[in-house]
Amino acid sequence: MTLVEEAVLVAAKDLRIEAHARVVMTQVLPFGVVVLLLFAFALDPDRGVLPVVAPGLFWVAVLLSSLLAVSRSFAIEADHGARDGLRLSGLDGAAIFLGKAAAIAVQLLVLEVVLLIGVFVLYDVDPRGLAVLVVAGVLATTAIAALGVTYGVLAAGMRVRETLVPLLVLPITMPVLLGATRAFEFALADDLGPAWRWTSLIAMITTVTITLGVLSFESLLEEA
């Protein structure tokens, strides 16, 4: 099997598990929407700040949800020695990384569509610059998923996994959050030049994070 075939196999496995168990769609997705609502309560919709800060709130909600999605992705490998099964399987570590990251990215993208509709409806934001939203959104989501899987496997076998992963992942996602928020801000303001420039920054970060994950995942899986 080629690397891509192996990655597709792993991604299909994770997505099939989600299709059967529906943990992300019935737990993480509502969580993300609740976070959007909490921001509205905290910032008071009547003061008119919500439309201004909507992109930032959206991406913070996505980041927090992504932590849960990563946690779920490694919870399914924790039962019945599944992680040992993966190590013994003969699959390339890079393929496992790409597959798991792709599965998380797909689930997050579904979540983001729902959250984005929530932002348009709840925060009174007009949808504009859709092309940027899609491209920047997909790239940033891929980077977040890649970082989550890299640090998720680093902590996979640990008792403190649930508390350590957020500390490791969140500071490092800062450039992605910054880039995605700016890109969305400019896109929603119909200022496409800067929006694409920020999108190119995200593209660079995504490339770096995927490279790092491909290089390090196999070793980290061995020590997990």
Partner 1 sequence: MTPARQRALGVATLLALGAFAVLALLISPKDSRHGDAVRLLYVHAPTAWTAYLAYVVAAIASAMWLWPRTRRPSWDHLAGAAAEFGVLSTGLTLFLGSVWAKESWGTWWQWEARLTTTAVLFFVYLGYLALRRLGGPGAERRNAIAALLAVVQVPIVHFSVTWWRSIHQEGSVFNQRGEVEINDATMQWALWSGVIAFTLLFLWCCLLRMRTLELESSAAETALDAAIRERVGTVNA
Partner 2 sequence: MPVVSIRQAVCLLGRFPALAGVDLEVDAGEIVWLAGPNGAGKTTLLRLIAGLQPLHRGTATVFDFDLERDRRSHRRRLAFVGHETFAYDDLSVAENLDFAARAAGSAPDRAVEARRRFGLDPLAAVRHAGLSAGQRRRLALATAFARDAELLLLDEPHAGLDADGRALLDDTLRAFVANGGTVVFSSHESDRATLLGAREVRIVGGVVVGAERVAPTERVTEASR
CA distance 43 to 38: 9
Of 30, 48, 81, 127, the residue at the interface with partner 2 (CB under 8 A) is 81
Count of residues engaged in binding partner 1, rule: CB under 8 A: 26
CA–CA distances in Å: residue 32 to residues 22, 134, 219: 15, 19, 32
Binding residues for partner 1 restricted to 142-201, rule: CB under 8 A: 150, 154-155, 158, 160, 164, 167-168, 170-172, 174-175, 178-179, 182, 194, 201
Question: Where do runs of H (alpha helix) occur along the chain?
Answer: 3-21, 23, 29-43, 50-75, 82-89, 93-122, 130-154, 161-172, 174-188, 192-223
Contacts with partner 1 in 80-109 (CB under 8 A)?
A: none
Q: Is 222 in the site for partner 1 (CB under 8 A)?
A: yes
Q: Which does 201 bind (CB under 5 to 8 A by kind): partner 1, partner 2, none?
A: partner 1
Residue 221, classed as helix, strand or coil, is: helix
With CB under 5 to 8 Å by kind, the binding choice for 179 among partner 2, partner 1, none is partner 1
- 15 scored as a contact of partner 2 (CB under 8 A): no
Q: Is 129 in the site for partner 1 (CB under 8 A)?
A: no
For 92, other C-beta atoms within 10 Å of its C-beta total 19
DSSP string, 74-126: HHTTTGGGHHHHHHHHT--HHHHHHHHHHHHHHHHHHHHHHHHHHHHHHTT--
DSSP-derived secondary structure letter, 48: S
**Given the rule CB under 8 A, which residues bind partner 2?**
1, 6, 9-10, 13, 16-17, 20-21, 76, 79-82, 84-91, 218, 222-223
**Given the rule CB under 8 A, which residues bind partner 1?**
150, 154-155, 158, 160, 164, 167-168, 170-172, 174-175, 178-179, 182, 194, 201, 205, 208, 212, 216, 219-220, 222-223
